[in-house]
């Protein structure tokens, strides 16, 4: 496992130290801020003002909230030191301690993206999900760039976001909650 730890630290150093550019800092801070749960909730609330989009926004909110709650338990179990504690780190956020794995910003961002992906796959609006996946990837990269997460924290966030979205989607489908899913989407296997 030393090879994984070495790869993780080298990946962190490459994004946080070697690729650091002052002109990029405000952009990365802005992108990383969109991964905050309260920012995502406000944005989804805004989307929910549109009656046709409301069921999708509520489904995305449910997946994001569920992923955030599960992440809190995983963080306690993992008890992983943040890379911002390294002497060479210059984090753009004041976040230290042992709450690194998985990245919460990445977890909720991918939970939202995966939920919308499940709901819109096979439709003419699937591009929305692809846009959200691009945004979620940027959030994940920004967490490393700003100096508060390792690459495996981000990958763990992607996995937990997928799990939370899939579980939420299956429960909603089983209970008949959420937006009406087209026949093509409803009969297609989840993959």
Domains located in the chain, CATH noted = 2-182 (1.20.144.10)
Q: Is the peptide bond between 102 and the residue preceding it cis, with omega within 30 degrees of 0?
A: yes
Per-residue pLDDT reduced to its tens digit, 65-96: 999 999 999 999 999 999 998 989 899 998 88
Token output for 3? 């090879």
Tell me the C-alpha to C-alpha distance, in Å, between residue 8 and each of 3, 15, 143, 144: 8, 11, 14, 11
CA contacts within 13 A on the Cβ side of 16: 27
pLDDT at 189: 45
Q: Of 109 and 177, which is predicted with more confidence?
A: 109
% the chain with pLDDT above 70: 94
Note the helical H segments in 35-188: 37-48, 54-78, 104-120, 126-145, 151-175, 183-187
Do residues 76 and 70 make contact, with C-beta atoms less than 8 angstroms apart? no
């Amino acid at each position: 496992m030393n090879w994984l730890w070495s790869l993780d630290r080298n990946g962190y150093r490459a994004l946080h130290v070697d690729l650091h550019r002052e002109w990029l800092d405000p952009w990365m801070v802005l992108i990383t801020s969109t991964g905050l749960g309260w920012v995502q909730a406000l944005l989804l609330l805004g989307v929910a003002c549109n009656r046709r989009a409301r069921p999708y926004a509520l489904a995305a909110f449910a997946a994001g909230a569920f992923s955030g709650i599960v992440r809190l338990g995983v963080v306690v179990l993992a008890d992983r030191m943040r890379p911002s504690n390294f002497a060479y780190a210059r984090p753009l956020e004041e976040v230290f301690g042992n709450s690194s794995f998985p990245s919460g910003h990445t977890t909720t961002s991918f939970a939202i993206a995966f939920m919308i992906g499940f709901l819109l796959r096979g439709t003419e609006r699937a591009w929305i999900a692809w846009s959200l996946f691009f945004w979620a990837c940027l959030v994940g990269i920004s967490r490393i760039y700003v100096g508060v997460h390792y690459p495996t924290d981000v990958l763990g966030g992607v996995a937990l976001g997928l799990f939370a979205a899939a579980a939420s989607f299956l429960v909603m489908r089983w209970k008949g909650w959420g937006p009406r899913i087209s026949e093509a989407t409803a009969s297609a296997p989840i993959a």
